[in-house]
Structures are given as C-alpha cells and as structure tokens.
C-alpha cells in the first residue's frame, strides 16, 4: 500500500494521478506516490513497465496526459526541464569529447553566466565528491567507463539540484564497476543531502542502494516498500518472482495458519484468508531446508546441483509432484533422498489475482 507522509515538509515530490499514453497505448495509468527529502528511491520493473516514462515526466522531458507533479508543493507539471530544481544522469553520458573534464562539468554553470572564480570552486568541489580531483585537464576519451560516469554525475551535482534523476546510469558498466559505483552513489547521497530517484530493471541494484523501492508493472505500482519489506513480504506473485528467486506454488489455505501444498499440510503464520481458499504460496529458495527424510514435511530426490560461489543451487523433485528450488551451503549429491522442510514464518501466503492486470495498490486510497 502506498504510504502517506504526515509531515508536508518531508515530501519533496508528489506524483498525483499521472496518466500517459503513446499512440493510444497507456504506459502509465493513474500513478500516484510521494518521495521524501534526501531519500534514495528506485523505480524498478521490467522493460515497458513505465518507469523511465515516469522519470521523464518528473524531469520535464515528457508531459502527462492527466495528473500533475508537485515539487515542494508547487505544481511544476508544465515547467521545462531547465526550470526545475533537478538534474538528470542518463545511461549515455553525452560528454563533450572536445572539452576537458573540468570544461564538461562547468558547462551548465557557464550557460548561467556565473562568475569564473565561483565556477572553478564549484567544479573543483564536484570533482572531489566523485573522486576525480586531478582529472580536470583530461579528455573523456582518456577515461574509463566508470570515470566517464563520474564526470556525468559531477556535471549534474555541480548545479546543486535538490533532486537527482538517474536513468539506468550503470547499465553500460561491467559487474565490478557497477558494484563500485553503487557504493559511490550511496556515499554521494549521504554526503550531499540530495534526493535520488533511480530507474533500473536490475533488482540487485535496487535492493543494494534504495531506501524504498517502487515496483512497477504494466503502468501500475505493484508494491512500495523498503528493500527488506519488498524481499521478505512481497504483496503478489509478480513482486515475489521479480525480486530475487522464488518458488511460487499453488496452495489451499485450509484455515488460519495452515496451508496445503500438493495436498501436504504446511504450518504457516498467515491469517485472514478464510477457509479452503486457493492462494499463491511463496517460498524463497534459501528458506527451503533439506534434512533427513524422516525429518521433512515432505520428501524428495536431488535432481541437479550447481555451485554458485557462496551457495549451492539445487532442484529437488518432491513426492508431491513439485520441484523445489533450494539454495544452501551444504552439498547434496544428485540422487540423494532428502526431507523438505520450511519454517512457518518463512512461508508467504498471497491472494491469487483475479486477472493479470489486477493492481495491488488501490489507486483510490
């Protein structure tokens, strides 16, 4: 459920009932959420879910068909990008190749005809923030991908925006650089006191960096919450499947605190679903325990095992006709007979959606 913040001073951006269509195809449908000051919030979802369109509307690069964008309580829906107190960092850094690093960072300040001495001070400070002091006279072509991205971030923060928009800025970097830049972005957010709005389809990035995550699909918000809430308490099967890996199984909620999977009763902690109701059951692979046959709730045989570095990933064919995905630090040989057990508080029960387009968050609340 979308959160409402009581203190108006805490909210820097209020996205109110935004709808946007392209060529009669609705991309965003009556979207509403709030962003707090100095928050790192991530719009997460698959390609085509509306996250980049939402970011472009916040940035002023697109205008909604309906709804409005409030910035510190002021309606900025029709303001052009240059009139908004925010800056954007895109996946393609768009640095000027003929300019030095310092000239690239200073470009926006020079357009504003700012004093040269003040520009030099601001550029120097921005480059220190992104750990590029001493690179002032280098050209972009001589920099690594990570360094070029830091220049693009310095060019954005030198304007001292209240909000920084980042549209998949790490997508072109290799894994090691992405992880390094994730840590750098967290550090910058904490040092500068800027609100970060980050767009990605990478759930690891979202879980690593965010204060809150907005999970989107088909133009709708599926869930808003902290990374821990999103991962441990997904509100529907889409969120559970998109955030990390999951066993999503058909179940019957027999009564409060008891669900059957494949006809086998599994104690759980969920209540309020009624009796004998069809439900979705979510089991995270790391929460499925492999034990001695006689100690399991059901039994199975190890079909295959893959070493993933920090754990093994195992598929277990159970006697109830379900294959369980399991992540464990223990090694089990293929063909091993095992018991399968899940602690009650590690079982997540969810209502089955009435349709593929069913929204988790009630737009009218």
pTM for this model (two decimals): 0.85
Question: Tell me, what's the pLDDT at 3?
Answer: 43
pLDDT under 70: residue ranges of the chain: 1-9, 172, 354-365
Report all structural domains of the chain as residue ranges with CATH numbers, in order of start: 8-232 (3.40.50.300), 245-351 (2.40.50.140)
323 - beta bridge partners? Answer: 317
User: Which structure tokens are listed for 141?
Assistant: 């072509």
Cα gap 148→96, rounded to integer Å: 11
Give the CA angle between residues 256, 296, 245 to the nearest 5°. Answer: 75
Question: Tell me, what's the pLDDT at 9?
Answer: 66
Question: Tell me, what's the pLDDT at 57?
Answer: 96
Chain centroid to CA 136: 34
Asked if residues 164 and 130 have their Cβ atoms less than 8 Å apart, the reply is no
Nearest residue to 129 (alpha-carbon basis) of 103, 100, 148, 154: 154
H/E stretch holding 293 reads none
Question: Tell me, what's the pLDDT at 169?
Answer: 80
Cα distances from 311 to residues 89, 307, 326, 332, in angstroms, run 36, 6, 10, 12
Question: Tell me, what's the pLDDT at 2?
Answer: 40
Cα gap 217→322, rounded to integer Å: 28
**CB neighbourhood size of 282 (10 A):** 23
């Amino acid at each position: 459920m979308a959160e409402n913040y009581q203190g108006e001073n805490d909210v820097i951006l209020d996205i109110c009932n935004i709808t946007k269509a392209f060529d009669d195809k609705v991309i965003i449908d009556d979207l509403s959420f709030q962003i707090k000051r100095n928050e790192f919030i991530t719009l997460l979802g698959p390609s085509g879910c509306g996250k980049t369109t939402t970011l472009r509307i916040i940035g002023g690069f697109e205008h909604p068909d309906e709804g409005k964008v409030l910035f510190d309580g002021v309606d900025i829906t029709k303001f052009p990008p240059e009139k908004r107190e925010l800056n954007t960092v895109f996946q393609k850094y768009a640095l000027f190749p003929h300019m030095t690093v310092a000239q690239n960072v200073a470009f926006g300040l020079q357009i504003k005809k700012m004093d040269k001495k003040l520009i030099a001070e601001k550029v120097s400070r921005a480059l220190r923030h992104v750990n590029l002091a001493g690179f002032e006279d280098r050209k972009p072509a001589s920099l690594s991908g990570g360094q070029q991205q830091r220049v693009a971030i310095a060019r954005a923060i030198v304007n001292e925006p209240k909000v920084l928009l980042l549209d998949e800025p790490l997508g072109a970097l290799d894994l090691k650089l992405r992880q390094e830049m994730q840590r750098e972005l967290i550090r910058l957010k904490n040092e500068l006191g800027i609100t970060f709005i980050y767009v990605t389809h990478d759930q690891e990035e979202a879980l690593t960096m965010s204060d809150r995550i907005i999970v989107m699909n088909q133009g709708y918000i599926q869930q808003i919450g902290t990374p821990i809430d999103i991962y441990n308490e997904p509100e529907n099967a889409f969120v559970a499947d998109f955030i990390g890996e999951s066993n999503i199984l058909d179940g019957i909620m027999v009564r409060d605190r008891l669900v059957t999977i494949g006809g086998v009763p599994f104690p759980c902690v969920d209540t309020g679903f009624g009796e004998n109701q069809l439900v979705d059951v979510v089991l995270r692979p790391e929460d499925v325990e492999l034990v001695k046959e006689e100690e399991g709730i059901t039994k199975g045989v190890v079909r295959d095992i893959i070493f993933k570095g920090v754990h093994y990933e195992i598929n277990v064919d159970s006697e109830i006709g379900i294959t369980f995905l399991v992540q464990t630090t223990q090694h089990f040989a293929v063909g091993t007979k095992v018991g399968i057990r899940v602690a009650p508080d590690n079982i997540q029960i969810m209502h089955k959606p009435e349709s593929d387009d069913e929204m988790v968050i009630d737009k009218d609340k």
